[in-house]
Chains A and B, each alone.
With several copies, the nearest count.
Chain A
């Protein structure tokens, strides 16, 4: 990684995407949702992890999009994939079958044990906000070898108690997840625009392990709905390199142009 130009400007969102991309190792198979996860995974593929295998729930295996897809099933994914299988096969043979190294999830709400809500704000039968729902998340959360969560940090999203558990992290902590008999290890990192959080054994409560440049601990505390803790070993996130930033921006420009933005 080249030394970043310290005068260089980048957004918190860019730092978040680049941090997530760095967690992906070359050769991993990665089950990608649309939006930030897709952006991060493609950034990794175009920088340090050229053989990262991208799998989209719509069926493409080994997609290598030149332009970021807007939807989970854009033609670009189909045309650049090694092959495309039917949706039941993606979920039953590939994800449940145990062939996914990393699942990428987002959420509207997350709690301190990495449980996710993408279903509803308010009571299920009297929703304040009806969210899109589960999608692939519950089984990605259960069956991917490990899960990364990407989520902008705010007290509205990082809540003490979820209105609805759509997808499990560590439930109420300790060995609660282990007792479910899930085949995947669960969420191993939450990547936000402020920091990285990782589960601390044995409780599996998420604690801050890496703080993005320029972010204060106070700001993280204010953006978290529970009394967030910082790992003793918490370090500073390495700022984006010039190459990371350039590749990310090119990727976004190509996507924006293709989808009629700007």
Chain B
């Protein structure tokens, strides 16, 4: 049953060193604030799962939290490379990163299998691709009726799934809308689910058939307004495309990245302070006409 707590408590309670953690949100509602808190608490050896690692995992990987990454597309959307991800893969910095690599269809299906409590999912996929040669969680099976060959992917079952949503009510029921990604599947597949929300309200005002996670399948609810920045929360704020663009320069260089991380994440107590410091950085960058987030 959903328990309301601070983000610090939620991360320290549910995310342990070595855990398998999924932080989902397809471009929309990415739980950045939770990512910063994981970095701040210096978690290590995590297996990170996420279809699109995005800047959030670039930060976690660069901060040395991850040992392994299960993913399907690792770029900075609309901008280019994830430099910290590349540095870990290409040069083992700050430590080597083991990759378990899918296509979107494959990893989305693996989440579905996790939510369905099945050990695998079947899809028309990967035929002719080299991916199955490097990922043993992709195999091929035959249809018991037609003998047709189809791909199978092993289910993903995170220890903890972390998502960000627009609203929760006081009971802990969670409502999200807009681009939904695989959040519901990731939540249902996990042993524990942490949800950060823009706000906690008396009445969700949900429409019929809304994407709602009932309180009784959520472990922790944390009110973290703005917690999806620089991604967006439909109905609350837009995507901060300038941050994504500015990230390219910050992350390209190890020192710049480390300085940014130290100042914004490691030297701040929580997301509120992070936001204050980030606001100062951005104000300075704006005045100088440079592109720092």
| Interface residue ranges, A against B (CB under 8 Å) | 27, 29, 34-35, 53, 57-62, 69-75, 77-79, 82-88, 91-99, 115, 119, 124, 127-130, 132-139, 142-143, 164-168, 171, 177, 180-183, 258-260
Sample of 17 more A-B contacts, CB < 8 Å, known A92-B108, A124-B130: A27-B1, A58-B27, A73-B77, A75-B178, A82-B173, A83-B210, A85-B209, A87-B108, A88-B185, A99-B217, A115-B128, A119-B131, A132-B75, A134-B73, A135-B73, A139-B103, A139-B124
Q: Are B179 and A138 in contact (CB under 8 A)?
A: no
B28 & A75 in contact (Cβ 8 Å cutoff): yes
- B246 closest partner in A (C-beta): A260
Which listed residue (A34, A61, A91, A129) contacts B90, Cβ 8 A?
Answer: A129
Within 8 A of A (CB), among B224-276: 232, 234, 238-239, 241-242, 244-245
Within 8 A of A (CB), among B27-51: 27-28, 51
B239 engages A86 (CB within 8 Å): no
Q: Which of B10-18, B109-117, B194-202 interfaces with chain A?
A: B109-117
- Rounded to whole Å, the gap between the CB of A122 and the closest CB of chain B is 9
User: What residues of B have a CB within 8 angstroms of the CB of A139 in the complex?
Assistant: 103-106, 123-125
Decide yes or no whether B205 CB sits under 8 A from chain A. no
| In contact, A127 and B102 (Cβ under 8 angstroms) | no
Interface of A is mostly: loop
Can you name the residue of chain A whose Cβ is closest to the Cβ of B173? Answer: A82
Tell me, yes or no, whether B182 is within 8 Å of chain A by CB: yes
Of all chain A residues, the one with the shortest Cβ separation from B242 is A260
Enumerate chain B residues within 8 angstroms of A97, measured Cβ to Cβ.
Answer: 115-117, 188
Which residues does chain B contribute within 8 Å of A180, judged by CB atoms? 127-128
A75 and B78 form a contact (CB under 8 A): no
A78 near B131: Cβ-Cβ < 8 Å: no
- Bound together, the chains give a CA A143 to CA B125 distance in angstroms of 9
Q: Which residues of chain B from 123 to 153 have a CB within 8 Å of any chain A CB?
A: 123-131, 134, 148-149
> Could you list 18 A-B pairs, sorted by A, with CB under 8 Å?
A60-B179, A87-B104, A88-B112, A88-B182, A91-B105, A92-B109, A92-B116, A93-B115, A93-B184, A115-B128, A132-B82, A134-B72, A134-B104, A137-B103, A139-B124, A142-B124, A166-B131, A183-B124
Closest approach, in angstroms, between the C-beta of A66 and any C-beta of chain B? 14
Cβ of B89: which chain A residues have Cβ within 8 Å of it?
127, 130
Instruction: Report Cα–Cα, A207/B249, bound state, in Å.
Output: 40
Contact between B127 and A142, CB atoms less than 8 A apart: yes
- The complex places the Cα of A59 from the Cα of B51 at a distance, in Å, of 14
- Which residue in chain A gives the minimum CB-CB distance to B80? A132
Residues of A within 8 A of B179 (CB): 58-60, 73, 77-78, 84
Residues of A contacting B117 in the complex (Cβ-Cβ under 8 angstroms): 96-98, 143, 183
Point out the residues of chain B lying under 8 angstroms from A137, CB to CB. 103
A229 to chain B, nearest CB (A): 24
Task: Please measure, in the bound complex, the distance between the C-alpha atom of A153 and the C-alpha atom of B184, giving whole angstroms.
Answer: 41
Is there a chain A Cβ closer than 8 Å to B206's Cβ? Answer: yes
Q: Point out the residues of chain A lying under 8 angstroms from B26, CB to CB.
A: 58-59, 72-73, 87
B94 part of interface (Cβ distance < 8 Å)? no
**Could you mark each residue 162-187 of chain B with 1 if its beta carbon is under 8 Å from any beta carbon of chain A, else 0?**
00000000000100001111111100
**A166 vs B178: C-alpha distance in the bound complex, in angstroms?**
30
**Residues of chain B with a CB closer than 8 A to A138's CB:** 103, 105-106, 125-127, 129, 131
